[in-house]
Structures are given as C-alpha cells and as structure tokens.
Chain A
C-alpha cells in the first residue's frame, strides 16, 4: 500500500531544502516558498489520510475537517514571493497557523486510532472470554 508515499517523498525533499539560519542572515524568498509548498503538500497528505480513515472506520472527525478547511483557506492568502518582495507578517503567521492546524489534525487522528484499537482489543478479549 502506498498511502501518501508520494507526498512523504516530497515532504522529505522540502525538509532537506530547509536550512537553519543565524542572526544577521537575509530572509530569502525560497525560505517562505519552501514553507508554503511544504504546507500545501502536507495538507494533501492529510486529506488522503483522512479519506482513508473515513473509509476504514466509517466515522467523521469534525475537528480534523475544521482544521483542514482553515489551513486551506489561510494558505490561499499566501502567494509565492520573489526577490525584492517585502517580508510581510503574513509570510510568518499563515505558515505557523497552517502548521498548527496540521499538527492538531494528526494528533486527533492518532488519538482516534488509538481509541479504536483499544476498543478492538477490548472486543476481542470479550469474545475470547465469552468463548472460554
């Protein structure tokens, strides 16, 4: 199964492009653009995961949907920057907003999966004990 394999490769490539900066360095256009692309790909991956989750467990996660929508809407306000553009506050704020939304969404899925697995185990042991 190659769930989000493609997106993960893209994300890895983008992470490799990112570099840590130190005091006095210029803010370059590719810094913002890399983050923007990262968020875009991450949202695609998140949507795929959610679709898979819905298909597998048959339940919706409203918090996750809200966060995906919010991140997508905010990302629309962040256009690609070029050399010479002024560094605006939105270049920073929108990215961290989107990253936060993605983080919350992933944690929500993980929690749901964990709860589901515990329920599954409980059901399994109940059945076993009943048989015994």
Chain B
C-alpha cells in the first residue's frame, strides 16, 4: 500500500481481517493427545493398586520399601531403638538380641526384601533354639505372616502412593486440558488481527495529488473516486515536466538558463530527504510560452 516514492500519508483505515480457522481440527488432535497420556497413567495406577494388594512380595514390596525409605527412613531409625528395645527388655530377653530383633523388625517394614534374611537370622539367634532347618522354616513362616502384615501395610502405603500418583496424574491431565484450551486461544486472537490501509499522496511538481484505492465491496466507504481535478493535475504536471526537460537540456548543453532550477520552482515534499527546498514559485522561464510566441 505504501509507495517507495516520497509521499504523504493522507488517510488510513483499519480493516478487521478475518481468517478462517478450522477450530475443530485443532481441537481434536490436542484433545486426543491429552486423553492418551491420561488413559495410560490411569492404567499404571491401577496396576500398582492391584500389585499392592495381591502379590505382596515382588512388586508391592519393592514399591513400599522405596516409598517407605523415601518417606520415613529418618523417623523410623529414630524409633526403632527406643520402643522396641524397651519392650524386649521388659520381656527379659537379651539386650543384644532385642537390639537386633527390634531393629530388624522395624527394618523389615521398611525394606522387606533385604531385611527378611536378617530378620530370620536374628530371630534364630535371639531365641537360642539352635533348631533344625524345618523349625527354622516354621519360624520363617511365622515371620512370613509378620512379613505379610508388613507387606500389607506396605501395600497399603503402596496403594496410597498409587492414589497419590493418580492424583498427580489427574492434575497433569487437568493441566493438559488447560493447555489445550490455552492452545486454542491464539486462534481466537487471530480473529482480531486487523489490517491497516494507508492512503498516500504525492506532491507532483508542486500540486498535491493522491493515489486512489479500490477495496472489496465490504469497505465501500473507503473507495476513492478519480476526480476531474486529479486528471487536470496530471496534465499540469506533464506541462511542467516538459519545461523541466527543456531546462535540463539547456543546462547540460551549457546554453543560456536563468539559474538553478531546483531553487526556482522546487518541489514540496513531506517525506523526501532529497529535496529540501519548499518553494512553490512558478517557473519564470516557460519554454512552452516562448515557443508559442
């Protein structure tokens, strides 16, 4: 719309430009993407939930131990020495054994897989039975119940953890939905993008003449009409340019001339940096008149 020639901004209009955006297409992929991770995460949560109840040894144990370790290892270590030791002392057991037992018992809650072995050893030593292997196996069974209990607790923790996970994932899903909505926002904003139509005009050999613009039917009010004045200005400009040619010809050939042309008539420009003189005096030396005489 703008011209590279020195021109003056005559008028401008802001036209709201509407873009056709297929919003449904934009919505559906994002929606689908955001549902997919939600689904998979729910499945994960369900699996952890099941494993924490049923297979008490493998998955839930490891999960609980990790959870337990990460959450309450410090508190656990502090507590294991105090209550359990006292309890065992009251029963008249050896202090050393009780230390080992209590600690291993408490530890069995935290790290099941590794400390079960320790637990067995300690229990065997603590009772001082020196029994054969089958008895030891019974003990192991008894411990296994305890361990099951522990595992159940751990499983519960695991369950809790899995719920917590679900909660987190739900949050993420919610965030995803939020992001999805946010992602559609720019499309909405694009509706508000507007185009500026700038109308410019020239000062042609001292007379102002505008450029004319034709726009779509919606903006009929911005249409320009080529007026008769514009035509007459162009005719005047042609006459003056003819005089300019004559002038330059005489000047370049070293013939007689009345002076510097740009100082005599000049051209008034609003933007031009090249022409600084802004005189509008008429050309004194009119070659057309001279010839007509």
On A, residues with C-beta under 8 Å from B are 1, 3-4, 7-8, 11-12, 14-15, 18-23, 25, 27, 31, 35, 38, 42, 45-46, 49, 52-53, 56, 63, 70, 87-89, 92-93, 95-97, 99-104, 106-111, 113-114
Contacts and interface: CB of A to CB of B under 8 A. Distances in A.
Contacts of A23: 228
Given A89-B213, A93-B212, 16 more contacts: A1-B253, A3-B253, A11-B245, A12-B291, A15-B235, A20-B235, A88-B214, A92-B212, A96-B211, A99-B238, A100-B5, A100-B202, A103-B241, A106-B241, A113-B251, A114-B262
Given A3-B253, A96-B204, A108 B274 contact: yes
A93 B211 contact: yes
Contacts of B251: 110, 113
Contact of B224 (A7, A22, A53, A89): A89
Contacts of A15: 235, 238-239, 242, 288
Contact of B228 (A3, A11, A21, A46): A21
Given A87-B226, A93-B211, A99-B241, A106 B248 contact: yes
B260 A104 contact: no
Contact of A42 (B205, B212, B234, B241): B241
Contacts of A92: 211-212, 226, 230
A2 B286 CA distance: 20
* SS of A interface (majority): helix
Contact of B245 (A89, A101, A106): A106
Interface of B: 3-6, 202, 204-205, 209, 211-214, 224, 226, 228, 230-232, 234-235, 237-239, 241-242, 244-249, 251-253, 260-263, 267, 272, 274-275, 288, 291
A7 B238 CA distance: 13
A103 B244 contact: yes
13 contacts: A8-B242, A11-B238, A11-B242, A15-B242, A49-B252, A100-B6, A104-B5, A104-B6, A109-B248, A110-B260, A111-B260, A113-B252, A114-B262
B214 A22 contact: no
Contacts of A49: 245, 248-249, 252
A25 B242 CA distance: 26
Nearest to A71: B5
B260 A114 contact: yes
Contacts of A11: 238, 242, 245
* SS of B interface (majority): helix
Contacts of B249: 3-4, 8, 49
Contacts of A21: 228, 231-232
Nearest to A24: B228
Nearest to B254: A117
A96 B211 CA distance: 8
B226 A27 contact: yes
A107 B273 CA distance: 13
A104 B263 CA distance: 14
A14 B238 contact: yes
A53 B241 contact: no
A49 B245 CA distance: 9
A19 to B, nearest CB: 7
